[in-house]
Structure 1
Amino acid sequence: MRFGMVAIAMLISTVASEAVAKVTPYKAAYVVERGGSQYGEASRELTRTEGGLFELATETEISWLFLSDRRRYWSTFVVEDGRIRPQTFAYKRTGTGKNRSFEGFFDRENKAVRALETGATLAIDWREDLLDEASLIEQVSHDMLPLDDGKQQTYQTVDEKGQQDMQTFQRVGIETLRLPYGEVEAVKVSRIRENSTRETDFWFAPELNGVLVKMQQREDGDEVATLLLRSLKSATGY
């Protein structure tokens, strides 16, 4: 059960150029369930400053019996040439077990990712399309919406430990979902893993500007946890 709490928290932690340029602020609230029972909550909020900088904050808070897990991700980024360009990324985990945190920034001038506190260069191969763990979901959403079913896309990321990772996603198709929020049409996207019994699926709703509306993780075919949209405020709701 503890694995399920950690897995869903880590994952919650982000249309080609034209659609990315239409990125708009929103505030989404979710419930986290397993087997139809609720055992946590999550939120994802995207705001934009007057200078055009996007600020993304995600949080999950889960408890089960005597176990607790709270994870927060922060990311700031701009949109250039139709792509998300992260500037800073932070992560903090508290609860049962060991607490962890990481803060880094993308030094584009010197083509490096550095630890925010010390300025030390991290062992990450620089790429202009590098994403962080939080902004990744935003980019996946906007990339997958216009693709044909079956198409895949791979991303290079910096994870919550400040390490480099590679993640591949595939568009599966369109489904009608009945959520606490209401009924929506959503594009299903699966993360592709090799040599793993873990399966993760995401659903993004085109009618809601591509916002993540559902996420589910399974291990050996059994549900680990499911994230469901409960409420949503768009830019007009601020």
Structure 2
Amino acid sequence: MHRKLARVAVRRGPFSCVFSGVLALAAAAADRPAHAADWYTGAEPNGAQDAWIVSVDTAATVSSQGAQFAGATATAAPAGNLLTSGLRLRADAVLGSYRAGTGLGQQAEAAAMVGYGWVWPEAVLSAFVGLTVRRNDLPGIEASVRNAGGFKAALDLYARPTPGTMVHATGTYASTFNAYYGRVRGGVAVLGGFLGPEAAVLGDDYYRQWRIGAHWSGLQVGALQFGLAAGYLHDQARKGGLYTTVDMRAGF
């Protein structure tokens, strides 16, 4: 792939991910407890400096709403490498806690997916489908709904329209509690990385949240890439607050 795309920002964003689009949810509905919280790892599409076979994206998020999550996403190219179009395998994992109306919730989730990556000189598009399992332990919910399994799908687009700009859009959906996540970022080259705005929406059958903020990503330190995002969030349970996310990417 062209070297313009080789310098990418540091994905899943939700299980999107040291753990990586993880953006954390404080899951609780305004009039009833949340049975599930969505999450996102933050992993970026393919585009490392080298012809990696495996990329590992990790992230940790904290918010003033009392939520803290960490996660990781591993993406592999079983034939060829991540700089060429082809088959992709992906594994996600997330672990965290959040504050809801009924108390402190604990969440753990894992997913395994298969997909395909289309690589062009200025863009990468990746699509995945697979299986996911989730445990959501929150005081007041029935034991029968604390563990759930189902299908998950993910879609990522990373593009460099010009040498000094980037656009990243990602989305996930899981049949477990109809959990969803979407994140869009844009940026211009600043001090060795990309600086710009970001927006995200996330939720499930029992919870909704939106975020708006800024990110500075793609900061290269040796073989690693780092990113930082921060801004304002609003959820239907604890209303307005602030969030901060730190991302890291490595490859092999």
The two structures have a TM-score, normalised by structure 1, of 0.53
Indicate the residue corresponding to 2:176 in structure 1. Answer: 161
The amino acid that maps onto 2:111 is W
1:172 and 1:190 in contact (8 A); partners too = no
Structure 2 contact 56–75 (Cα < 8 Å) conserved: yes
Distance 2:67 2:179 in 1: 31
Q: How many residues align?
A: 186
SS in 1 for 2:27: helix
Q: Does 1:77 align with 2:77?
A: no
Which residue number in structure 2 is paired with residue 32 of structure 1? 62
Aligned twin of 1:11: 39
In structure 1, the partner of 2:82 is none
Matches of 1:59 and 1:102, distance apart in 2: 15
Query: How has the CA–CA distance of structure 1 residues 211 and 55 changed in structure 2, closer, same or farther, with 3 Å as cutoff?
Result: farther
For the structure 1 residues 88 and 18, does the alpha-carbon distance in structure 2 shift closer, same or farther, using more than 3 Å as the test?
A: closer
Q: 1:205 aligns with which of 207, 212, 217?
A: 217
Q: Distance in 2 between matches of 1:153 and 1:47?
A: 17
Does the C-alpha gap of structure 1 residues 85 and 199 become closer, same or farther in structure 2, counting only changes over 3 Å? closer
2:92 aligned residue (32, 37, 57) = 57
Which structure has the highest strand share of the two? 2
Identity of aligned residues (%): 9
Pair 166,200 (structure 1): closer, same or farther in 2 beyond 3 Å: closer
Once the two structures are superposed, what CA deviation does each residue of 1:136-168 show, in whole Å capped at 9, x if it has no partner? 4xx14x14x54898x89796x53343759795x
Matched residue, 2:137? 95
Distance 2:210 2:59 in 1: 23
So what's the TM-score if we normalise by structure 2? 0.50
- Please state which structure has a larger fraction of its residues in helix: 1
The answer to whether structure 1 residue 219 and structure 2 residue 247 are counterparts is no
SS of residue in 1 equivalent to 2:176: coil
User: d(CA) in 1 for partners of 2:133 and 2:55?
Assistant: 21
Mark the runs of 5 or more structure 1 residues left unpaired by the alignment: 106-131, 178-182
